[in-house]
Every structure is written in structure tokens, then in C-alpha cells.
Structure 1
Amino acid sequence: MIITTTPSVEGKEIEAYLDIVFGEVISGVNFLKDFKAGLSNFFGGRSSSYEDELIHARQQAIAEMKQRAAALGANAIVGVDIDYEVLGSDNGMLMVTASGTAVCVK
């Protein structure tokens, strides 16, 4: 499956636009990750626990979007956009949404 942020696939002709597809992931950030991130914030440096969670959530959202596109018979997704949001009263949840247009290319 071809996935691109551009509205077309260079060198390929889009035969059919099938539908908009989404992949959504909501992931909780637990106490241990919060504690480790707090230490990184205090002492300086990067928070690998949050970075790992973000990478994993993004990969899951893209995989879900690909599955939904494949179920429509698509062989590509164009115009992909990935959005991030924090949810909850204590910002303890991370939401990642991947969206794009499922298409068939030659």
C-alpha cells in the first residue's frame, strides 16, 4: 500500500477515489511514564517514555487507516494527515488520528 501526504502519487494515475479513511488511537499515559518524564523535565533531556508512546500510537493509527483502506479495495492513500491531541482532565490520554483518501492507482 502506498501512503503519501501529497494529493497524488507521482508517476501513477488515480483511477478511483474510494472514501476518506481514518485510524484513531487513544492511549493512556501511566504514572511511571509521568514520573520518568518529570525527571527528564527536571534534569533536562528528552523523555524517551513519552516519545516511545507517541511513536507506537502513530504507528497504530497508520496501521488502522491502512486496514480500513484495504477493506475498501484501495492500493494507496493520498493526502495523509496525522493529528495529535491530549485528552482528559489531567491530560493523561494521548489521541493520535491519521486520515487520508483511499484510492486505487494504476
Structure 2
Amino acid sequence: MSNLNPEQAVNNMSNEDKEQILASFNQFKSFLGDKVEKAENMGFSDEAIAKAAEKLADQLAKHQEPKNREEKVLNELWDSAEGEEKSAIARALVRMVQKEA
């Protein structure tokens, strides 16, 4: 979520980095948690962080194949969701990693 431009951040990552992050759901949560913590430390609001998480999830859904069962479930939920439902999923993911921090 560097500079809250998740599309650019995902596009700039090497395939090897993407594979490593998506190798396990715990690694994905750790990556997301790190980005959320950095955004919080930079003073971004919860709403801005959730919007960035939504954009990141959209990019992943469009350009990355799920690597494990958890990611497959999230991908199917994301593909089935519309508008506010996607926002709710993104906010829930952010809260999940905040609680684990």
C-alpha cells in the first residue's frame, strides 16, 4: 500500500515476490498487516486503508491465481461480491490483520 496506490505497487512487484507473498495465507496476512501498520503510522484513516485494501484485492483477483484454499475462498467471495460487499470484505481483512498485530 505504498502511497496508497495498490495497483502500481502490485504491478511493480516481481513475480517471485508475488509468489512468495501468496505462497501461504499466513504470509499474505503478514504482508497485508505490514502494509496496514505502515499506513497507520503514516496517519492514514481506517477508511483510506480499507479503500486501498479494496483496490489491492481487486488487483489480486484480476491478475493472480489463488495459491491455497483460503485465497481461493476469498477470490470466490470477491468475484461474487458487488460494491459495498467488496468494501465490507476489505474492511474485514484490514480488521483481521490489525487484531493480529
Q: TM over 0.5: same fold? A: no
* Structure with a larger share of its residues in strand: 1
Coarse TM-score class (shorter-chain normalised): 0.3 to 0.5
Is the radius of gyration larger for structure 1 or structure 2? 1
* Structure with a larger share of its residues in helix: 2
